[in-house]
A and B are shown apart, each in its own frame.
Chain A
C-alpha cells in the first residue's frame, strides 16, 4: 500500500507529531511505501533543525530526519506556511533576502500541489493534526 501522510500540528504541541511519526514507522515496518509526508500549517515547525529539546525528552525533528534518511522519505514543508513561520532553506533565503537557513536534513520546501499529488498518487491519505 502506498501512503501519503499530512501533519498539521507542530512538535511538542499536543500529540499529532508523535502519532504521525509512530504511524509512519509502523507502516514502513510492515512493508508499506510512504510516498510523501506533507507538513502543513504549524506542522512546518517539525522541520527546523534549530530545535533543542532537553536531553531527557524526545527530539521530534531529529527523529523525522533519521526516519527520512533510513527510508529515503520525501518530506515536504508547505512554502506559504514555512514563510510565515520562518522556516528557511537556501532557495527561500535567497528569494526573500534572509541571512540564515534553518531547514532540517531530509526536509524540502515546496507548494501545496505536492499534497494534492501525494493524495492522487497514494492509496490512502492519512491526516494528523489538532
Chain B
C-alpha cells in the first residue's frame, strides 16, 4: 500500500511540505506541483526535508517560475502531466496537502 503525496504550496508560505515529508512511509512518493516546486530548489530551506523521500516535480511548473533543472536538489525526477498520471496509477492512494 503506497500513497502519492501532492504538495502545491511553497515551503516559504506553508508547513505542508514539512508535514507531508515527515509523515511519509516507506514506498510513498512525493510530487511537488504549482508553488510546491519551490521546495525542490537545492539552495532552498526545504531540500533537507526531502532526504530519504522519493520526490518528483512538475517540469511545466518549474519552467513557469523560471527554475532551471540544474538548480534542483539531487535525485529529484522532473516529470510532465503524463508522468503525473503514471504516479497516480502506480500508488494506491493520492493525498493532496491543501
- A interface with B by C-beta (< 8 Å): 1, 3, 8, 14-16, 19, 22-23, 25-27, 29-30, 32, 124-130
Contact B96 A23 (CB under 8 A): no
Interface residue from A19, A27, A32 paired with B8 (Cβ < 8 Å)? A19
- B interface with A by C-beta (< 8 Å): 6, 8, 33-35, 60-61, 80-82, 84-85, 88-89, 93-94, 96, 98
Q: A127-B98, A129-B98 are in contact. List 5 more A-B contacts (CB 8 A).
A: A15-B34, A15-B61, A32-B89, A126-B94, A128-B96
Contact A124 B98 (CB under 8 A): no
Residue on B with the closest CB to A32? B85
- Please report whether the interface of chain B is mostly helix, strand, loop or mixed according to DSSP: helix
- Please report whether the interface of chain A is mostly helix, strand, loop or mixed according to DSSP: mixed
Contacts of B85 in A (CB 8 A): 23, 26-27, 30, 32
21 examples of A-B residue contacts, CB within 8 angstroms: A1-B88, A1-B89, A3-B88, A14-B35, A15-B34, A15-B61, A19-B8, A19-B33, A19-B34, A23-B81, A23-B84, A26-B80, A26-B84, A27-B85, A124-B88, A124-B93, A124-B94, A126-B96, A127-B6, A127-B96, A128-B8
Interface residue from B34, B81, B93 paired with A16 (Cβ < 8 Å)? B34
Contact A30 B34 (CB under 8 A): no
Contacts of B34 in A (CB 8 A): 14-16, 19
Contacts of B98 in A (CB 8 A): 8, 127, 129-130
Contacts of A129 in B (CB 8 A): 96, 98
Nearest-neighbour CB distance to chain A for B4, whole angstroms, equals 9
